[in-house]
Structure formats: C-alpha cells, structure tokens
Amino acid sequence: MGNESPLPRRLASSALFWAAMALSGILLFNFCFTDGFFRIEVRDGRLYGSLVDILDRAAPTMLVSLGMTLVIATGGVDLSVGAIMAISGTVAAALVARPDYSPLTKLGLPPTLAVAAGGAMLAAVLAGALNGALVAGARIQPIVATLFLMVAGRGVAQLLAQGQIVVFRHEGLAFLGNGSLLGLPVSVAIVAAACCVATALLRGTALGLFVEAVGDNETAARHAGVSIFGVVFFAYMLSGACSGLAGLLVAADIRAADANNAGMYAELDAILAVVVGGTALSGGRFRIGGTILGVLLLQTLTTTILTRGVPVEYTLVMKALVIVAVCLAQSSAFRRRIARLVGGKP
C-alpha cells in the first residue's frame, strides 16, 4: 500500500481506526439501549453521570498507561506498575495514619497532604529508577528486570503496612479521591494535566523523537548520538512516577491502602490499553492519543457491562476477546490470510 491507496483502505489499516470504531460502537449501543447513559447532572457544583464516572474510574489506569506508553515505545515493558501503585498508596496512607511511626515526623514535618504525596511520589520514583538502572544500566531484559520489583514490591508494601489495610482519615488526601475541581472530579483534572504535560514534554521537545529512535533501532540511535541510557532510564522513572500518582489516587479514593489488592492487574490493563491504542509492543512510534482512546474503550466496556446488569464475571472474558480481536486486526499475517480467503489481492 503506498501513499496512493484510497482513504478507506488507509483508514482500515490504521490501528487507531479500529479502537475508535469499537468505542463509537459501544457508545452507540448505550445511546440506543441504556437509559440516561449520556445524561449529565450538576449537583453541588459538580458534574454527575455515567460519562463522568467513566473518566473518574479510568483515571488510575490512564496515568499508568501514560508511563507504560513511553516504556513500550523504548521497546521495553514495565510489569512492576501494580506493585509500585501498592507501595505509593501504602506510603501515603502510613504517613498520615501513623504519624508517630513515620521518620518524617521526627524531622519536624507534619502529616500534611504535601508530605504524604511527596513521600509516596519519592518512593515511586525511586522504584522506577531501580527499574531504569536494571534495564538501562545493567542491560537486563525489561520483562525480567521489572518482574523482580513485581514479585518483591508487594512484599515491601505489605511490610510497610505491617500486613494490614491502612485506613486513614485525612481531609487533604481524601480530597484527591473525592473532591472536585471546576466541576470535574480531581482525579480527572490530574489526568488531564498529566496528559498535557506529557504531550508538551514529548512532542514539544525532541525527547519524544529520542524515545522513538531508541525503540525503533537502538544501534542507529546510538550512532546518531542519542544517550540510550538517559532515554531508557527516563522512561522507566517516568513510568514509576505515573504509577505512584495512580496509587495515590486509588488509596485516596477508598481512604485506605490495601497493599494486597491495590493495582492488581494494573500492568495488564495498561499494556492492553497501550497496544489497543496502536503503539506496537516491539517499540518505536508511540501514540499518547491512542493510549487515551484505549483506556477509554476498556473502561467504557467495563462500565457498560456493569450498567447492563451483566454479571461482573463476564468483564474478564470480554476483555480477553477484545485483546484477541485487536491483536488479530493489527496482525499483518491475519490480514493476509483473510485477504486470501476472501479472494482479494494478498
């Protein structure tokens, strides 16, 4: 297919096209069959409705996927995001719920929102830096290097929480989970800000290009003078920071940190969203917009299943079918076979 191919054909071969079609299909289904799906009300200066709820629920996955997009673009993968979410949530909760136990209080820092969030983010960035050092510094395969933190991270979170669910009452931290900003949930505002910053950072500067260069062909990038270590290390650190923020939101939402279950399967959802959004697992070109679309598609699917009264159990089955369908739609081998079956040109 060169540049000459007709528009419909080019559209059909674009990965984003299928994700967008699937999303519109689900929205259309809801428009026709679910009462009040598109209704948005204003109560106490805050918007309520299924659409707002989808955005709110999707917020943590969106943040994790943002970091994951960058990591996958460098040709790697970060399996430890769920564990980092658990660590950051636990650190924040422990800092506000057990101030006398925290080392920061001894330094004269009160358990404020800034201290809790700062401590949590610091832990998350450190975890991301560890991944980055293993992958970029020690040149260990990404799946393996991040598997280490995935296995050990939850253990560390459990130790911090002393094996319990850390429940807290804290105005500031709870505001992150349940407050509203300009009518939207705070989480949505944070995600919007994070997406804007990421886009500005990656597309406004040459950084995005460096990331794509490393993912596409590492040797070529090195010869072109790109610092492979710097770029890959940065990607994993950013992924850690994004997961940390997501963990903070999840803990703030339920006003407790559950080291065992927070961020469970987050890595899988994030990888799924990134791939559905048209970023190839082999690295290279990435699409932040596509990832956002992928997350929204998955969350809309989940919310639709819930509001239709279909048992929750089917969500996982539906997700599996979506992955297989999208994988196959993007696979050139599959397209060749179908083309041969239909009798069109191979």
Q: Is 310 in the site for another protein (CB under 8 A)?
A: no
Per CB under 8 A, the segment of 66-74, 153-161, 200-208, 246-254 that binds another protein is 153-161
Tokens at 214, concatenated: 């490393």
User: Whole-number minimum distance, CB 163 to another protein, in Å?
Assistant: 6
Closest by CA to 65, choosing from 294, 227, 325, 329, is: 294
Q: Is 333 in the site for another protein (CB under 8 A)?
A: yes
Per CB under 8 A, the segment of 2-10, 115-123, 225-233, 329-337 that binds another protein is 329-337
Per CB under 8 A, the segment of 92-100, 189-197, 230-238, 305-313 that binds another protein is 305-313
Q: Is 148 in the site for another protein (CB under 8 A)?
A: yes
Give the list of residues 6+ apart from residue 172 with CB closer than 8 angstroms, or none: 112, 113, 116
Strands 180-181 and 184-185: antiparallel
Is-contact 66 195, C-beta < 8 A? yes
Cα–Cα distances in Å, from 221 out to 75, 132, 209, 232, 237?
A: 13, 18, 10, 12, 20
Size of the site for another protein (CB under 8 A): 49
Closest by CA to 247, choosing from 59, 47, 30, 69, is: 59
Contacts with another protein, 257-276, as mask; x by CB under 8 A: -----------x--xx--x-
Q: Is 281 in the site for another protein (CB under 8 A)?
A: yes
10 Å CB burial of residue 238 (0-12, 13-18, 19+) is buried
How many Å apart are CA 229 and CA 168, to the nearest integer? 40
Q: Is 64 in the site for another protein (CB under 8 A)?
A: no
Per CB under 8 A, the segment of 50-58, 68-76, 151-159, 241-249 that binds another protein is 151-159
Tokens at 249, concatenated: 């939101």
Is-contact 17 11, C-beta < 8 A? yes
Q: Which of 129, 147, 174, 254 binds another protein (CB under 8 A)?
A: 147
Which residues 159-218 are close enough to bind another protein by CB under 8 A? Answer: 159, 162-163
User: Whole-number minimum distance, CB 141 to another protein, in Å?
Assistant: 6
Q: Where does this chain bind another protein (CB under 8 A)? A: 77, 134, 138-141, 143-145, 147-156, 158-159, 162-163, 268, 271-272, 275, 281-282, 311-321, 323-324, 327-328, 331-334, 337
